[in-house]
């Protein structure tokens, strides 16, 4: 009998393939030194296209950007071993609900993050890398949204 946790881990593993995980890990080499710029662009774009979400962010946006990039780097660096961060991602999803985040906001954040990556990585942000990041984001979204339902 497969446990509930094993099913959740398998879903996360099946969302991102091995080649995509490697592309993402390699892109972190480029992303890490400019993470603060990517975070600023992400939030600027998110608030430009969805100004109503600005009210959810009341704290220091530099600190918020650092937390975002650290969380994403941790999550994607663990793609080969999602069970190692499953509880942390679920807890993150539960916290986001307490902040007022609704499930329909996650795809908006995904699109803004992909936009920020394209803006900063330029031609290095290939269609394959975009697909890989989109798949990783989808896995995070699914895990966070499912946690908020339980």
Domains annotated on the chain, with CATH = 26-149 (1.10.490.10)
Please tell me the least confidently modeled range out of 57-66, 97-106, 111-120.
97-106
- Those residues whose C-beta lies under 8 Å from the C-beta of residue 44, and which sit 6 or more positions away, are none
In angstroms, how far is CA 45 from the centroid of its own chain?
A: 15
Question: pTM (2 decimals)?
Answer: 0.84
pLDDT at 94: 81
In the predicted structure, residue 9 carries a pLDDT above the cut 80: no
Instruction: Read off the pLDDT of each residue in 77-104 and give the average, rounded to a whole number.
Output: 80
The tens digit of pLDDT for each residue in 31-58 reads: 999 999 999 999 999 999 999 999 999 8
In the predicted structure, residue 132 carries a pLDDT above the cut 80: yes
Are the C-beta atoms of 7 and 134 separated by less than 8 Å? no
Task: Round the average pLDDT of the chain to a whole number and report it.
Answer: 86
Return the number of other C-beta atoms located less than 10 Å from residue 32's C-beta.
11
In the predicted structure, residue 14 carries a pLDDT above the cut 60: no
- Those residues whose C-beta lies under 8 Å from the C-beta of residue 56, and which sit 6 or more positions away, are 99, 100, 101
In the predicted structure, residue 1 carries a pLDDT above the cut 50: no
In the predicted structure, residue 23 carries a pLDDT above the cut 70: yes
């Amino acid at each position: 009998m497969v446990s509930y946790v094993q099913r959740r881990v398998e879903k996360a593993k099946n969302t991102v393939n091995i080649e995509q995980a490697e592309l993402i890990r390699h892109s972190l080499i480029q992303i890490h030194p400019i993470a603060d710029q990517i975070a600023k662009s992400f939030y600027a774009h998110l608030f430009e296209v969805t100004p109503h979400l600005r009210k959810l962010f009341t704290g220091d946006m530099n600190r918020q950007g650092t937390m975002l990039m650290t969380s994403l780097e941790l999550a994607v660096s663990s793609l080969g071993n999602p069970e190692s961060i499953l509880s942390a991602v679920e807890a993150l999803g539960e916290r986001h609900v307490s902040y007022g985040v609704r499930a329909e906001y996650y795809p908006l954040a995904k699109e803004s993050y992909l936009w920020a990556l394209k803006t900063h990585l330029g031609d290095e942000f290939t269609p394959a890398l975009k697909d890989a990041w989109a798949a990783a984001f989808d896995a995070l979204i699914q895990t966070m949204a499912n946690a908020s339902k339980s």
